């Protein structure tokens, strides 16, 4: 802090303690902290010292002869100027009740004895900051009182020059400067006009070009402190000869809506420090004066506007009376209806709108539409506002609103312009509808995926046969693409002539459903495709609206069935051949032994019967036929394929010559089937026995 001559004043600290050694210790510590210390040993002495000079800080011992520390604290609180003294109480007791009592009595801090010097320094520094803050607060209060006084004067009905004169005088009193002057400037002009001064007006005009520092302060809109030649130049321009010498000049631009209307000039001794609260006070007064001048200039315009507002108010009341019947209609409307300004301020909301927003019982004037909008929907709101500015007021816009009780709802809104930036919106809750639509969309997407993924062809048509659905399996089967047939072809074009009508007739005869019917389709290339089709009629409220058919391509199945039939025939033949081969082997084995005996005995009999005997020829016949039979048995045992030949009538019998291994020549064009030979083959001829 500086006095009027620029000399620093030391803050005073008052130490109140009945122990001399402790007073000396504290005095030494506080002196090192930059305090001018006064130490007393009783409460009465402390009160007398405070009466003479209010200290910046007070250290008070609670346990002293009457009056004790508690009594001194109570007396300090009685007077407003004493109550701002920061007090650090000291006590050798640590009882909680004593601490609470001291703080309740007005103490700012508490220090227990004995204490360390560092702790005392820390507490004193904190209290010093507190004292400075309280002093600053008191100074601000004084300045605010000055500002309030000047504000009341500026708001009074006095003439402008009287108001500005009062401002100049009060600024000098509040800031303790030597002179105050107000200079007004007009945009584009080279001169400023002196309109008020705390003393007499030495000159009423000043040339701005001759005062570059003044002009620079107005252009920068920032206060400047000028000293020496710069201050003397401006003083000379204003005719303030008595100010020449060691002076300081503060130039404070008077700003209204960031535009300088003039400047407040303050003269003071060079040692005077105009900063902090004093500078803020002076700048505030300057700006308040600028606003008062602007108010004076705008008073006529305000009167005109008042008349216009009055007429507009009358017209609005007239429109309101005309709109009363519609207001009653809005009150009973099933949809929410609100009227709002472009900034979201609600002007009207019917009961349904308040109910939808969870604002039942709230005043409409307390609500703003922006409070209900979700942050994620801001792009939609921005587009709506852009559309409003372009005259576009859409309908059926889905938006989400957050009710005052928490839940989020989806509404469908429509907008219209009422005029003068006022917009009417109607909306209804469609939360359930949109949820159902979303579920239907998901279901539709799932069903479409199922239909497209089906291995069977699916075709749907309306009641006239126009194709509405054609899945990928149908594309693969017929060669048509969905884009070529949907809405382009009739389902009859996919069937051979007349077959589609026949199938529909069967469907109707069977009660609207036909399953597993063998039919044919025509591909894009003209190929006739065998299919198995199931057809069902589509009905809505008992009325036929179309049909749907599901078909399976049978080409591959028929090819497999044909191959299976061929294989089955071959298996039957192989089975028959196997039986024949087994039978042949068994017969050859069983006939071989008795035939061998017959041939042996026939050979023996031939040797014993004379040649001239009639029996000799008979024996030869027996032996010849037995040999022939042996050859037949041998062929039976060597059957390798199944060959037949014609017999009596239409019958066919086994051809031994072609079926045996000896019959290796096969007529061209005839199929042969080889079978394994029998394990037993009869000899070509029996062995002779004697």
CATH, residue 618: 1.10.287
In a domain? residue 307 = no
Return the top range by mean pLDDT from 121-130, 167-176, 276-285: 121-130
Return the top range by mean pLDDT from 237-246, 340-349, 647-656: 340-349
- Under a CB-based contact definition with an 8 Å cutoff, are residues 658 and 623 in contact? no
Poorest-pLDDT segment among 19-23, 67-71, 389-393, 582-586: 582-586
User: Which has more confidence, 451 or 684?
Assistant: 451
Reply yes or no on whether the pLDDT at 529 is more than 70. yes
What the block records as the tokens of 407 is 């839940």
In a domain? residue 567 = no
What the block records as the tokens of 71 is 């009594």
In a domain? residue 686 = no
Poorest-pLDDT segment among 140-144, 518-522, 594-598: 140-144
Query: What integer pLDDT is reported at residue 322 of this predicted model?
Result: 62
In a domain? residue 7 = no
Instruction: Assess whether 520 and 581 both reside in one domain.
Output: no
Final residue in a domain of this structure, among 110, 142, 174: 142
Q: Give SS3 for 186.
A: coil
Task: Provide the percentage of residues in the chain whose pLDDT is more than 90.
Answer: 5
In a domain? residue 559 = no
In a domain? residue 318 = no
Residue pLDDT, tens place only, 99-144: 777 888 888 888 888 788 888 888 888 888 877 776 666 666 666 6
Closest to 286 measured CA to CA, from 265, 306, 307, 271: 265
Query: What integer pLDDT is reported at residue 535 of this predicted model?
Result: 92
Query: What integer pLDDT is reported at residue 151 of this predicted model?
Result: 61
User: Which has more confidence, 311 or 458?
Assistant: 458
Final residue in a domain of this structure, among 401, 434, 467: 434
Reply yes or no on whether the pLDDT at 11 is more than 80. yes
Instruction: Assess whether 414 and 462 both reside in one domain.
Output: no
- Under a CB-based contact definition with an 8 Å cutoff, are residues 191 and 207 in contact? yes
Instruction: Assess whether 496 and 427 both reside in one domain.
Output: no
Instruction: Assess whether 161 and 293 both reside in one domain.
Output: yes
Instruction: Assess whether 492 and 514 both reside in one domain.
Output: yes
For residue 381, the 8-state DSSP code is H
Closest to 221 measured CA to CA, from 143, 290, 150, 306: 290
Instruction: Assess whether 213 and 285 both reside in one domain.
Output: yes
Reply yes or no on whether the pLDDT at 246 is more than 70. no
Task: Provide the CATH number for the domain around residue 16.
Answer: 3.40.50.2300
Q: Give SS3 for 170.
A: helix
Poorest-pLDDT segment among 60-64, 156-160, 565-569: 156-160
Instruction: Assess whether 277 and 246 both reside in one domain.
Output: yes
Contacts of 530 (CB under 8 A, 6+ apart): 518, 519, 520, 553, 554, 555, 558
What span, in angstroms and rounded, lies between the C-alpha atoms of 274 and 225? 8
User: Which has more confidence, 521 or 326?
Assistant: 521
Considering Cα of 421, then 422, then 428, then 429, what sign does the dihedral take?
positive
Question: If DSSP states are collapsed to H, E and C, what string results for 514-533?
Answer: EEEEEEEEECCCCCEEEEEE
Instruction: Assess whether 485 and 419 both reside in one domain.
Output: no
What the block records as the tokens of 279 is 């500078």
What span, in angstroms and rounded, lies between the C-alpha atoms of 408 and 526? 59
Q: Give SS3 for 338.
A: strand
Instruction: Assess whether 240 and 209 both reside in one domain.
Output: yes
Instruction: Assess whether 291 and 410 both reside in one domain.
Output: no
Closest to 252 measured CA to CA, from 234, 279, 288: 279
Task: Provide the CATH number for the domain around residue 522.
Answer: 3.30.450.20
Final residue in a domain of this structure, among 108, 142, 176: 142
Reply yes or no on whether the pLDDT at 626 is more than 60. yes
What span, in angstroms and rounded, lies between the C-alpha atoms of 348 and 340? 7
User: Which has more confidence, 319 or 672?
Assistant: 319
Instruction: Assess whether 123 and 17 both reside in one domain.
Output: yes
Query: What integer pLDDT is reported at residue 685 of this predicted model?
Result: 42
Query: What integer pLDDT is reported at residue 678 of this predicted model?
Result: 40
Reply yes or no on whether the pLDDT at 450 is more than 50. yes
Q: Name the pLDDT band for 417 (thresholds 50, 70, 90).
A: confident
In a domain? residue 439 = no
Query: What integer pLDDT is reported at residue 271 of this predicted model?
Result: 56
Q: What is the pTM of this model?
A: 0.38
Q: Name the pLDDT band for 355 (thresholds 50, 70, 90).
A: confident
Q: Give SS3 for 54.
A: coil
Number of domains the chain is built from: 5
Reply yes or no on whether the pLDDT at 1 is more than 50. no
Reply yes or no on whether the pLDDT at 670 is more than 50. no
Instruction: Assess whether 497 and 593 both reside in one domain.
Output: no
Query: What integer pLDDT is reported at residue 294 of this predicted model?
Result: 62
Q: Which domain holds residue 488?
A: 457-553
In a domain? residue 563 = no
Tell me the sheet residues that pair with 91.
112
Query: What integer pLDDT is reported at residue 676 of this predicted model?
Result: 45
User: Which has more confidence, 444 or 690?
Assistant: 444
Task: Provide the CATH number for the domain around residue 184.
Answer: 3.30.450.40
């Amino acid at each position: 802090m500086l006095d009027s001559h620029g000399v620093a004043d030391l803050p005073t600290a008052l130490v109140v303690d009945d122990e001399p050694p402790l007073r000396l210790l504290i005095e030494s510590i506080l002196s090192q902290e930059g305090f001018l210390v006064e130490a007393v040993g009783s409460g009465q002495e402390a009160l007398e010292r405070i009466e003479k000079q209010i200290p910046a800080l007070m250290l008070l011992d609670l346990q002293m002869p009457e009056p004790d520390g508690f009594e001194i604290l109570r007396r300090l609180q009685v007077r407003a100027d004493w109550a701002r003294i920061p007090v650090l109480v000291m006590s050798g007791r640590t009882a909680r009740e004593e601490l609470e009592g001291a703080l309740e009595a007005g103490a700012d801090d508490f220090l227990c004895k004995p204490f360390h010097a560092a702790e005392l320094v820390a507490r004193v520094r904190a209290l010093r900051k507190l004292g400075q803050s309280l002093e600053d607060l008191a100074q601000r209060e004084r300045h605010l009182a000055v500002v309030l006084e000047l504000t009341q004067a500026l708001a009074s009905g006095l003439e402008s020059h009287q108001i500005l004169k009062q401002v100049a005088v009060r600024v000098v009193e509040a800031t303790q400067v030597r002179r105050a002057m107000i200079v007004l400037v007009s945009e584009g002009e080279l001169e400023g006009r002196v309109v008020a001064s705390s003393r007499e007006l030495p000159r009423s005009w000043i040339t701005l070009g001759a005062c570059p520092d003044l002009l620079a302060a107005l252009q920068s809109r920032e206060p400047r402190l000028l000293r020496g030649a710069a201050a003397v130049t401006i003083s000379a321009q204003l005719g303030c000869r008595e100010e020449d010498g060691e002076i300081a000049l503060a130039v404070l631009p008077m700003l209204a809506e960031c535009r300088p209307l003039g400047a407040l000039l303050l003269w003071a001794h060079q040692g005077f420090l105009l900063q902090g609260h004093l500078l803020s006070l002076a700048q505030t007064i300057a700006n308040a004066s600028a606003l008062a001048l602007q108010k004076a200039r705008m008073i006529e315009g305000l009167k005109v506007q008042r008349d216009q507002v009055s007429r507009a108010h009358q017209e609005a009341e007239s429109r309101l009376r005309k709109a009363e019947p519609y207001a009653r209609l809005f009150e009973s409307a099933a949809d929410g209806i609100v009227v709002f300004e472009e900034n979201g301020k609600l002007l009207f909301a019917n009961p349904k709108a308040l109910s939808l927003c969870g604002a039942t019982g709230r005043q409409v004037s307390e609500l703003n539409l922006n409070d209900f909008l979700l942050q994620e929907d801001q792009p939609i709101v921005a587009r709506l506002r852009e559309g409003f500015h372009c005259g576009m007021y859409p309908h059926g816009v889905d938006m989400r609103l957050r009710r005052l009780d928490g839940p989020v709802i989806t509404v469908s809104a429509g907008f219209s312009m009422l005029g003068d930036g006022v917009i009417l919106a109607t909306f209804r809750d469609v939360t359930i509808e949109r949820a159902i639509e979303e579920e239907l969309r998901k279901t539709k997407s799932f069903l479409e995926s199922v239909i497209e993924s089906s291995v069977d062809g699916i075709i749907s048509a309306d009641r006239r046969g126009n194709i509405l659905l054609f899945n990928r399996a149908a594309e693969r089967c017929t060669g048509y693409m969905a884009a070529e047939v949907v809405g382009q072809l009739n389902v009859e074009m996919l069937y051979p002539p007349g077959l589609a009508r026949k199938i529909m007739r069967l469907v109707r005869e069977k009660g609207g459903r036909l399953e597993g019917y063998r039919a044919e389709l025509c591909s894009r290339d003209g190929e006739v495709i065998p299919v198995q089709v199931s057809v069902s009629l589509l009905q809505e409220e008992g009325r036929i609206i179309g049909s749907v058919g599901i078909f399976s391509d049978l080409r591959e199945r028929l090819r497999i069935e044909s191959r299976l039939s061929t294989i089955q025939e071959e298996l039957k033949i192989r089975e028959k051949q196997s039986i024949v081969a087994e039978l042949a082997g068994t017969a050859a084995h069983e006939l071989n032994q008795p035939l061998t005996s017959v041939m042996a005995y026939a050979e023996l009999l031939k040797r014993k019967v004379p040649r001239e005997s009639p029996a000799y020829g008979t024996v030869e016949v027996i032996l010849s036929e037995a040999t022939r039979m042996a050859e037949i048995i041998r062929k039976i045992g060597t059957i390798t394929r199944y060959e037949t030949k014609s017999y009596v009538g239409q019958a066919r019998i086994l051809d031994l010559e072609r079926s045996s291994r000896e019959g290796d020549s096969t007529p061209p064009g005839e199929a042969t089937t080889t079978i394994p030979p029998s394990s037993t083959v009869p000899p070509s001829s029996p062995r002779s026995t004697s």
